[in-house]
Amino acid sequence: MHETDLCHPERAQRVEGPRLATRVQARSLGCARDDGSRPSQVSKACLLIGMLLIAGCASDLSPYLGDPDDARRVEPLELTTRPAKTATTQPTTQPAGRTVELTLSAARRIALANNTNVGIAEIDPQIAAAGLSVEQGAFEATFGVDARYAKQDSPFINQTIFSPDGSGDTSVVRVQGGQLDALTIDPSLTKPLRTGGQVRVTAPIDRVETDQGRLLNPQWEQDVRVSISQPLLRGFGSDASELGIRIAATEVAAARQRLKVTVVDTIAAVDRAYWQLWSARRAVEVREEQLQLVGEQLERAQRRFRAGSTGELEVVRAESAQADATEELVAAVGQADRAQRALRDLMSVRLESSPFAVGNSSALEPSTKAAAVPYSLEPRKLVTMAMQRRGELAEARVAELAEQARLLNASREAYLPRLDVFYEWGVNGLGGDYDGAVDQLGSGDFQDQTIGLTFEQPLGNRVRRQQLRQSLLRRAQRLLDVRRRQEIIKREVYDACEGIDTGYERILAARQRVATAERLLAAEERQVDAGATSSAELLESQRNLASARLSLASAISQYEIARVDLAAATGTVLGKAGVVLE
């Protein structure tokens, strides 16, 4: 037989030569079919190169990079001028729009409904709750199906086998090649266990049909296998398997505390802005009254100058005082506008037609009266209350609890090797059709069992020992953070208590100052009317009265703000009604 005959399948099917002994010499020759249906190697290479080029194309980053020219250019601001006012023009103290009265409770309610910081903080607990659900879903059962179909057409590989006795007899055997149709469907159900292991049930179905000689062709296999794997040392128990759930739960608690902190801070900011606006409105009233008194003195000086009973100096002095009062009134109006915008910004109303929107021209008039009453404070009790209600401290404690869970797991995992046990039981079914395979499977005659152990111990164990050290240091850091926050809260409570005590004393002193300034101004007016003194002392008395009234308004405003600071320091809000977060 010539070697060229080995390339022909019909000849290779004949087996020639005597029966061979166990010891043989073999020589393999490979031949491929060449029927003209095989794609060329060039076309395959081109297809592969094209796929690589498509996969390697870079994505367009221009939407993310933005316009580079815009980042390099700073445009100038061009303002349009208008005709200047004359020196005799009176300042505009009344707002262009209508006046809207606003209570403190209404300002709080609007801010809680519209403030963007509160809106952002409200989403955090929902995100954290979704993360907790994700971690809890780790113990859900998973159903999957792996289905594959393969169609193979392999070339023949024939072997020429020589007789070991040296007689020269040979035989040709086709050892590989032919056509194959294979279908595999592998459904599975996997259930993770809270002990750290998992249970898996599979029922693979295989169908194989080939042109090779087989007893069953096609051949169907239907098996059922149940396996369980369980760590015995490292990774065992709920401390390891539920670590992610516990950390996610602390994130939910921390997000809720951050929302509470945001609400308390927002209410405190609204209260402070409200009383600052109240003080600014009182300042405008004081400056208007001062300008009115100066105007009356100017008219008085002008009448007396025309009557010849006084000199021109008195008129000039009154005009100078009027100019000063006008400038101070303009400054007070500007300060009130800024305080009004600050309050509107906290309320964050986006509807421009609303009187509470930032761009609205309506004037906000605080209608809640200031308390300005003394309080009997007990700082130690207030500190205890703050330690229980401050959201920042609760958040720090939650973070420390998360680190404690990590430390517990790290301490268990640091020095334990990995030792996992595996057990699998299966029953097999085989047949010429699917029903036959299922019938044999139901008989339970062919069963498999497998048990095994997996052991692993890193040499040196440096990674896990350092992870334990990191957990220890992080927990120590969290404990120090809790202590630091306690010290800050304690100081804030004592500062707020002192602010309330000194603030009320300041109010009493400012009231006395106002009463004294009013009496002094009345005496100076009588002296000027009698011609016993010049108007310089009168104008100075008017300025002193305005300063005293401004000081009283500032003292009352700062006293209310000190009460706000005490409420914020204790994690509460002022008033008889609290806030319920839904």
Q: How confident is the model at residue 351 (pLDDT cuts 50, 70, 90)?
A: confident
Residue 469 pLDDT: 92
Q: How confident is the model at residue 148 (pLDDT cuts 50, 70, 90)?
A: very high
The average pLDDT across 142-168 equals 76
pLDDT greater than 70 at residue 379 = yes
Q: How confident is the model at residue 496 (pLDDT cuts 50, 70, 90)?
A: very high
pLDDT in tens, 514-547: 999 999 989 988 888 777 677 788 888 889 999 9
Residue 26 pLDDT: 36
Compute the mean pLDDT over every residue in the chain, rounded to the nearest whole number.
Answer: 82
The alpha-carbon radius of gyration of the chain (Å, integer) is 46
pLDDT greater than 80 at residue 13 = no
pLDDT in tens, 79-106: 666 675 555 555 555 555 688 899 999 9
pLDDT in tens, 390-401: 989 999 999 999
Q: What stretches of 267-388 adopt beta strand conformation (E)? A: 363-366
Preceding peptide of 218 cis, ω within 30°: yes
User: Which letter does DSSP use for residue 357 in this model?
Assistant: B
Q: How confident is the model at residue 131 (pLDDT cuts 50, 70, 90)?
A: very high
Residue 302 pLDDT: 87
Q: How confident is the model at residue 32 (pLDDT cuts 50, 70, 90)?
A: very low
The residue ranking higher by pLDDT, 119 or 89, is 119
pLDDT greater than 50 at residue 15 = no
Q: Is the dihedral of CA 524, 526, 527, 528 positive or negative?
A: positive
DSSP helix/strand/coil, 90: coil
DSSP helix/strand/coil, 126: helix
Which residue type does 482 have? V
Residue 152 pLDDT: 83
The average pLDDT across 434-447 equals 88
Residue 198 pLDDT: 93
The average pLDDT across 104-124 equals 91
Q: How confident is the model at residue 504 (pLDDT cuts 50, 70, 90)?
A: very high
Q: For residue 462, how many C-alpha atoms fall within 13 Å in the half-sphere facing its CB?
A: 2
- Report the greatest alpha carbon distance in the chain: 159
Which of the listed ranges 187-201, 289-303, 355-369, 565-579 does the model predict with the highest average pLDDT? Answer: 187-201
User: How far apart (Å, rounded) are the C-alpha atoms in residues 483 and 477?
Assistant: 10
What would the 3-class secondary structure string for 426-492 be?
Answer: EEEEEECCHHHHHHHHHHCCCEEEEEEEEEECCCCCHHHHHHHHHHHHHHHHHHHHHHHHHHHHHHH
What would the 3-class secondary structure string for 302-332 be?
Answer: HHHHHHCCCCHHHHHHHHHHHHHHHHHHHHH
Interacting residues of 474 by C-beta distance below 8 A, sequence separation 6+: 403, 406, 407
| H helices present in 211-242, as ranges | 238-241
Range with lowest mean pLDDT among 86-100, 294-308, 371-385, 415-429: 86-100
Question: Which pairing describes strands 99-102 and 363-366: parallel, antiparallel, or unpaired?
Answer: parallel
Q: How confident is the model at residue 28 (pLDDT cuts 50, 70, 90)?
A: very low
Q: Per the structure block, which two tokens stand in for 282?
A: 């009182």
Residue 7 pLDDT: 40
Residue 210 pLDDT: 84
Cα of 120 vs its chain's centroid, Å: 9
Q: How confident is the model at residue 153 (pLDDT cuts 50, 70, 90)?
A: confident
Share of the chain above pLDDT 70, in %: 79
Buried b (16+ CB within 10 A) or exposed e, 289-321: bbbebbbebbebbeebbeeeebeeebbebbeeb
Q: How confident is the model at residue 6 (pLDDT cuts 50, 70, 90)?
A: very low
Residue 99 pLDDT: 87
Q: What is the DSSP string of 244-258?
A: HHHHHHHHHHHHHHH
pTM score, whole prediction: 0.75
User: How far apart (Å, rounded) are the C-alpha atoms in residues 508 and 491?
Assistant: 26
The residue ranking higher by pLDDT, 355 or 206, is 206
Range with lowest mean pLDDT among 4-13, 317-326, 367-376: 4-13
Buried b (16+ CB within 10 A) or exposed e, 397-426: bbbbbbbbbbbbbbebbbebeebbeeebeb
Question: Which of 439, 516, 518, 451 shows the shortest CA–CA distance to 221?
Answer: 439
Q: How confident is the model at residue 62 (pLDDT cuts 50, 70, 90)?
A: low
The average pLDDT across 483-487 equals 94
Which residue type does 526 have? R
